[in-house]
Amino acid sequence: QQQVKQSPQSLIVQKGGISIINCAYENTAFDYFPWYQQFPGKGPALLIAIRPDVSEKKEGRFTISFNKSAKQFSLHIMDSQPGDSATYFCAASSAGGGADGLTFGKGTHLIIQP
């Protein structure tokens, strides 16, 4: 059972454009929603994260929008640059149970064309 669904699988955006990646979750116990960026040969790196008590969080060119009622959240990359070309993963976790295990989406391969 896939608890976090991510779309699209791949995305091509022109330099300077806006990249948008969407995720939907099923488990209402999730209370932490991070986005990770992964380059080839590297581990995932935390980009930005949000908790369900806010609807939007912005850090530089990266913005998370969160819709609790729809159980959806999205990543917007403004003024996309070729250096943003990477695989992006949304994830979610719940605080209960002691462990902080993350449930990841399947990833979006983003290409920014110069």
Partner 1 sequence: ETGVTQSPTHLIKTRGQQVTLRCSSQSGHNTVSWYQQALGQGPQFIFQYYREEENGRGNFPPRFSGLQFPNYSSELNVNALELDDSALYLCASGKQGARETQYFGPGTRLLVL
From 48, 47, 52, 49, select the one nearest 31 (Cα to Cα). 52
Residue 41 class from Cβ within 10 Å (0-12 exposed, 13-18 middle, 19+ buried)? exposed
- What count of Cα atoms within 13 Å lies in the side-chain half-sphere of residue 110? 31
Toward partner 1, which CB reaches closer, 66 or 107? 107
Toward partner 1, which CB reaches closer, 13 or 34? 34
Query: Is 98 an interacting residue with respect to partner 1 (CB under 8 A)?
Result: yes
Query: Is 70 an interacting residue with respect to partner 1 (CB under 8 A)?
Result: no
Query: Is 61 an interacting residue with respect to partner 1 (CB under 8 A)?
Result: no
Phi, psi of 28 (to 5 degrees): -70, -5
Stretch binding partner 1 (CB under 8 A), from 14-22, 52-60, 77-85, 95-103: 95-103
DSSP state of 101: P
What residues make contact with partner 1 under the rule CB under 8 A? 4, 6, 32, 34, 36, 41-46, 49, 89, 91, 93, 95, 97-107
